[in-house]
Amino acid sequence: MPKPQAKTFLKGEVLFKEGDKGQVAYMIQSGTINIVKNIKGKRQILATLGPGEIFGEMAIISRSARVAGAEAASECTVLVLTARLILMLLKKSHPTVFHLTRVLASRLASADRAISESRSDNSWLTFCRILHMKHRILQTMPRGEDSPIGITLEDLSRDFSAITNAPQHEINRHIKSAIGFNMITVNKIGAQTYLSIINPDDFLIIAENLSGDINKFSGKVFLSDFMDIFDFSNLVDSNPEMIYKKIGVGEFPEDICVLHKESTSKWVEKKGEQFFREVKRKRKSIEELEGVEDIIFVDIGTLKQVFRQLGYYKLGILIAIAGDDAKKRILSVISSKIAAAITRDSRSSDAIDQSEADDVEEELIDLIREIKSSKTE
């Protein structure tokens, strides 16, 4: 394999332009490089790279034109990595990694061009479009043992900042707003934080509906200033069940209980008016709980804690033996990604050892009672 050649550029010199064909990539040995892009007729610096960083490889992998240009931010020396060298290194990795890298690079390149051409100066809508685009890529890419399991907060933040130059606090505000309006869920698995879109079909419609409010409140009230019932119950060291009771008996001021009109109207349409006229089923006390079917009487906050302690394997057993209502309750509490993984790997009720199932069911009830009791002490 031929050794990469070093090349020096003076400050301001152009290494390649946006739209050029990708013939080579570069690795910085010394100095800094600006990655630049023309957005709405204005030159924008998307990132400044330093020694050890590689750039320009995406155009080679995706076989597409460069989506951004590169200029020397200072006098710099780079190693020139040929297309042959880049592809040879990739092909030495697992075949699935090579295939997924090529597919993902190609789709991100086209999506990046589409976003740059059509996006407005609305940071919220740009954030939602990037998140939705990443969701679509994840859903359509070939599945394999090396496939990503979800959209990481780290990747989303990096890509959003690269395209918009937005600071991290703005990203955090958008994420909190999306969570508050029940558009996404956030789950931590190991060291990574993953984002999941709850309703992909309506996601961008809801985002556009909310956009007007975000623009109207800009500089005055941000959606991140709102909190949901669970956040509030944590703030006052209570639980959601108690807060709902106090709302139900009119002990909450009306002006702090607000619902977003557009989002709520869409939810009402889906549930149907009859849903809001139905008589709620009789509740059970902690002492009356007997098995998995009774989790329909347990608040979501408690169930989240219980399920975390039980783990995926035992949750799979509970899903296998649960009736329809209890199964829906379990799946509504855990994230869609985790639910998909558990239901895919779980066994049928006929394959479950009854003795093991009884033990798991007993542990479920014991944990619920333990957590509920600790909250009332």
| pLDDT tens per residue, range 280-295 | 555 677 777 888 888 8
Distance between CA atoms of residues 134 and 267, nearest Å: 25
pTM as predicted:
0.34
| pLDDT tens per residue, range 195-238 | 999 988 888 888 887 776 665 544 333 444 456 676 677 778 88
Q: Which amino acid is at 280?
A: K
- Whether the CB-CB separation of 367 and 361 falls below 8 Å is answered with no
Q: Which residue bears the tokens 């009854």?
A: 354
Structure tokens at 229: 């019932």
Distance between CA atoms of residues 113 and 170, nearest Å: 23
Cβ burial 168-177 (10 Å sphere, 16+ → b, else e)? eebbebbbbb
Report how far apart, in Å, the C-alpha atoms of 68 and of each of 28, 38, 43, 106 are. 17, 8, 10, 14
Pick the closest to residue 341 from 196, 212, 204, 200 (CA basis). Answer: 196
21 backbone dihedrals φ, ψ, rounded to 5°: -75, 140
Distance between CA atoms of residues 319 and 338, nearest Å: 12
User: What is residue 337's predicted lDDT score, i.e. its pLDDT?
Assistant: 76
pLDDT in tens, the chain (377 residues): 567 789 999 999 999 998 898 888 888 899 999 988 887 677 888 778 888 888 887 777 767 788 889 999 999 999 888 877 776 665 554 443 444 444 444 445 544 554 444 444 567 888 888 888 888 877 776 666 666 778 888 888 887 776 666 777 778 888 888 887 888 998 888 888 899 999 888 888 888 877 766 655 443 334 444 566 766 777 788 887 788 777 776 777 766 776 666 667 777 887 777 777 665 555 677 777 888 888 888 888 888 888 888 888 888 888 888 888 888 888 888 887 777 777 666 655 556 778 888 888 889 888 988 888 876 65
User: What is residue 8's predicted lDDT score, i.e. its pLDDT?
Assistant: 95
The contacts of residue 219 (CB under 8 Å, 6+ apart) are none
User: What is residue 228's predicted lDDT score, i.e. its pLDDT?
Assistant: 67
Grouping H, G, I as helix, E, B as strand and the rest as coil, residue 336 is helix
Distance between CA atoms of residues 362 and 45, nearest Å: 59
Structure tokens at 351: 């394959």
User: What is residue 30's predicted lDDT score, i.e. its pLDDT?
Assistant: 92
Distinct helix (H) and strand (E) counts, the chain: 14, 11
Pick the closest to residue 357 from 306, 313, 309 (CA basis). Answer: 313
Grouping H, G, I as helix, E, B as strand and the rest as coil, residue 34 is strand
Residues counted in the chain: 377
User: What is residue 53's predicted lDDT score, i.e. its pLDDT?
Assistant: 80
Q: Which amino acid is at 15?
A: L
